[in-house]
């Protein structure tokens, strides 16, 4: 299929079937974006069932090296452009200094660091071409401070924040702006499985998505390098 003539901006979103990714997809679609959704299991995102041709899903497995370039190429072929890349696909495993395997650590870095790196690298020429490309990396407050012993997850999120700053530097002169979104607990299925905090006390994914959409909409002269969002009081966050 050739590129569409519609000039509405295009956002690529990984992990769009998750709680946060789905909320961001709905928010960006409401704001006028066409969506390229990279998912492993083809299915519709809740709330976007009637969006029609404004949304296209592509197979994307964050652990497979070649999938990043393939997804980017298919997005450009279908839509003709890429304006925004949102890296929402993520993995969580427990890897402490005493527990967890080398395979667990590799799995965390494969999904949380290497996958965003590959997507950014593949999409960067298109993001530069549009003059105001945006990269959103869903990191975590675990990428800003250490509050428990899950060092594997924390290292992967610290690395993702570092990647975000590298993107800002690499793309700045061409209008590319990158933001690391660093939330605490967000009301998702994953949080429900691992957190002791009641779900109703966590950040609403729709509120986080609204913040992401606002950051994406800012001009090139109002760059937000990191956005820290917390549902509980911490002295620094």
Instruction: Give catalytic residue positions.
Output: 153
144 touches 90 (CB < 8 A): no
> At residue 123, what are phi and psi to the nearest 5 degrees?
-90, -15
User: Which DSSP letter does residue 200 get?
Assistant: G
Residues forming a β-bridge with 177: 134
Tell me phi and psi for residue 95, to 5 degrees.
-135, 105
Classify strands 177-183 and 226-229 as parallel, antiparallel or unpaired: parallel
Coil, strand or helix at 16: coil
Give the residue from 162, 61, 157, 156 showing the smallest Cα distance to 170: 162
Helices within 58-204 (DSSP H only)? 67-79, 102-109, 115-129, 151-171, 189-194
Tell me the C-alpha distance between 114 and 107, whole Å. Answer: 10
């Amino acid at each position: 299929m050739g590129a569409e003539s519609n000039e509405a901006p295009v956002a690529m979103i990984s992990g769009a079937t998750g709680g946060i990714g789905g909320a961001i997809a709905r928010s960006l679609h409401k704001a006028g974006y066409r969506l390229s959704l990279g998912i492993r299991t083809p299915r519709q995102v809740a709330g976007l069932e009637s969006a029609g041709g404004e949304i296209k899903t592509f197979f994307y497995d964050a652990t497979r090296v070649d999938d990043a370039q393939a997804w980017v190429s298919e997005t450009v072929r279908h839509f003709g452009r890429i304006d925004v890349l949102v890296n929402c696909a993520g993995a969580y495993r427990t890897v402490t200094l005493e527990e967890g395997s080398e395979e667990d650590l590799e799995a965390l870095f494969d999904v949380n660091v290497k996958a965003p790196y590959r997507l950014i690298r593949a999409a960067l020429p298109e993001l530069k071409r549009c003059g105001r490309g945006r990269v959103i990396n869903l990191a975590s407050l675990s990428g800003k401070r250490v509050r428990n012993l899950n060092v594997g997850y924390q290292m992967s999120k610290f690395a993702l924040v570092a990647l975000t700053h590298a993107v800002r530097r690499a793309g700045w002169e061409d209008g590319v702006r990158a933001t690391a979104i660093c939330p605490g607990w967000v009301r998702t299925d994953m949080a429900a499985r691992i957190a002791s905090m009641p779900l109703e006390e966590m950040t609403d994914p729709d509120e986080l998505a609204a913040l992401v959409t606002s950051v994406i909409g800012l001009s090139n002269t109002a760059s937000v390098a990191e956005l820290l969002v917390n549902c509980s009081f911490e002295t620094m966050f």
